[in-house]
Amino acid sequence: MAQLTKTIAEQRPDDAALIDADGERTWRELDDRVNRLVNGLRARGLATGDTVAIVAGNRREWFELAMACAHGGWTYVPVNWHWVADELAYVFDDAEVVAVFADGRYAAEIAAALADERGAGVRLVVDLDGATELVGDARTVAYEAVVAEGDPAEPEEQRLGGPMFYTSGTTGRPKGVRGSLSGNTELTPDIMQLVAGGFAQWLPIPGRTLLCGPVYHSAQWAFSFLPMIGGSSVVMQHKYDSAGVLDLIDRYGVTNVHLVPTQMKRLVDLPDDVKRGYDGTSLQVVWHGAAPCPPKVKQALIEWWGPKITEYYGSTEGSIISVISSEEWLAKGGSVGKPVTTVEVIVVDEAGNRLGIGQEGTLYFRNLMGMGFTYHKDEAKTAAAHLEPGVFTTGDVGYLDDDGYLWLSDRRIDMIISGGVNIYPAEIEGVLAVHPAVADVAVIGVPDDEFGEQVKAVVQVAEGVEPSDELSAELIAYCREHLAGYKAPKTVDYVAEIPRTGTGKIQKKPLRDPYWAGRDRRI
């Protein structure tokens, strides 16, 4: 049996480990299938240290594959299923992916990406839904065939594999974040149990976890996969539905769930009759993060569900940095909490000088456990994110108060967080800049009551072009052709000239300020 599930499978063989819309997988079945996957994929040529991509929704197979990678020594890239073929092909090439695990729902874009020359390095395509026509060549095999052909014996030479999440870059293309668990083949899988054990201080483990956000997001992965290693079963919803979340909590006795502010607002906005039908007594802990939550929304959810809501501040690169309970938040509304014991917060000014209590500056963090990260194939970006070795920034501006609580006030790096998803304007600007109607463009984040921020394009039209609603619709559609839909601007405004510095850098502050006037935060 595979190390990470061996004890659980022996003690609770017939309990459900994974539950999705199509059925359940027991711990015994999970353990057996992980063994077969590791051995079956090795037989098909996957070697320790290889990188694979998972382009799939929230489904049982995703967790089986992640567990198999953890034992096979493979780095896996959790791919955003909204991405179009060009975005997929870029990641296949940049990450040096040798195998792609494909959900049939995204077959068209995956096939187009694999047909691109940047997909030529992919040697194996595993169709999770059993088809073998995805690519139309010998690379494709059915997932269940790999499972059936794999040896059920515990795999030999188990080495640690883990995720490399791609986060969009300020220079346009996404960059892979290599953390301490990203396929560190010098380690064995049991190190993952130590990391997962840290979640026991925050979650009821073993318990029953609800996954209702995309597992390709690092937070959703951490708050579902890591508890599973500790023995928590995972109930998953592929497409978010608030009423469905309430039903799943009650039906399966869910004990913990991770939410983003947009989901919280949609729950609060449910009709009263739907809310009255919800019991919720099994639910013990609700974690939320990824973006600032409107205070009225959080207050309303606490009033409805009780003081079960715990907020965290963190990032893909730095994991959890600070936490704040419901009780603390009610007393310190607006703070993102006290730093966790494994993180040191450092506030610096423009010159890199350290600042004192109450002084606002760029926030840097040191992981006291020595866990760090690098950006895949980008030493310059890695260096730019660090003040010194082991001390990194998320690009946020803030301060520590007299009681040790962390407060955020602004964002120094050019990033938009919409619905808990990081969006980097440079990528969108790069697409719009080549449209013949655009002379210059800036993409900014503006307030949105549901999503926190929304993407707005500010356009200087080319000579002879007149701004119009039709042009705005054309520009938005153009973005959707070349980028995932969530990156496309929701609205377009027009200016006579995009303000730039003498060196040509866009001055976004004067463009953003009018939209954020009267708000407590600038993010």
Task: Kindly report the CATH number assigned to the domain that includes residue 449.
Answer: 3.30.300.30
Q: What's the DSSP call for residue 278? A: -
The answer to whether the CB of 398 falls within 8 A of the CB of 347 is yes
Model pLDDT, residue 334: 73
Return d(Cα 140, Cα 125) in angstroms, integer.
Answer: 5
The Cβ of residue 284 has, within 10 Å, a number of other Cβ atoms equal to: 14
Domain end (from 384, 413, 442): 413
End-to-end, the C-alpha distance of the chain in Å comes to 48
In a domain, 254, yes or no: yes
Return d(Cα 391, Cα 372) in angstroms, integer.
Answer: 9
198 with 130, same domain: the answer is no
Return d(Cα 407, Cα 397) in angstroms, integer.
Answer: 9
**pLDDT tens by residue, 229-246:** 989 999 999 999 999 999
In a domain, 110, yes or no: yes
The Cβ of residue 239 has, within 10 Å, a number of other Cβ atoms equal to: 10
The Cβ of residue 292 has, within 10 Å, a number of other Cβ atoms equal to: 19
97 with 112, same domain: the answer is yes
433 with 302, same domain: the answer is no
29 with 53, same domain: the answer is yes
Return d(Cα 520, Cα 229) in angstroms, integer.
Answer: 40
Q: What interhelical angle do 425-432 and 469-482 show, nearest 10? A: 110
377 with 421, same domain: the answer is no
In a domain, 144, yes or no: yes
Model pLDDT, residue 246: 97
* Collapsed DSSP state (helix, strand, coil) of residue 440: strand
Beta-carbon contacts of 70 under 8 Å, excluding residues fewer than 6 positions away, are 4, 160, 161, 162, 189, 192
Domain end (from 114, 145, 178): 178
209 with 142, same domain: the answer is no
Q: Angle CA(96)–CA(99)–CA(103) in degrees, nearest 5? A: 120
Model pLDDT, residue 135: 63
Write the CATH number for 274. Answer: 3.40.50.980
Return d(Cα 16, Cα 233) in angstroms, integer.
Answer: 6
Model pLDDT, residue 236: 97
Residue ranges for the chain with pLDDT beneath 50: 1, 170, 503
Range of the domain at 37: 3-13+23-156+163-178
145 with 232, same domain: the answer is no
28 with 119, same domain: the answer is yes
In a domain, 61, yes or no: yes
Count of domains for the chain: 4
9 with 140, same domain: the answer is yes
Domain end (from 413, 429, 454): 413
Beta strands in 162-284 (DSSP E): 165-167, 175-178, 208-211, 233-236, 256-259
In a domain, 184, yes or no: no
173 with 205, same domain: the answer is no
In a domain, 168, yes or no: yes
Write the CATH number for 359. Answer: 2.30.38.10
In a domain, 317, yes or no: no
Model pLDDT, residue 2: 59
The answer to whether the CB of 84 falls within 8 A of the CB of 76 is no
Helix (H) or strand (E) holding 411: strand 406-411
Beta-carbon contacts of 163 under 8 Å, excluding residues fewer than 6 positions away, are 66, 75, 76, 77, 78, 179, 181, 182, 218, 221
406 with 420, same domain: the answer is no
Q: How many CA atoms lie within 13 A of 463 on its CB side?
A: 0
35 with 131, same domain: the answer is yes
Amino acid at 176: G
pTM value is 0.80
Return d(Cα 103, Cα 93) in angstroms, integer.
Answer: 19
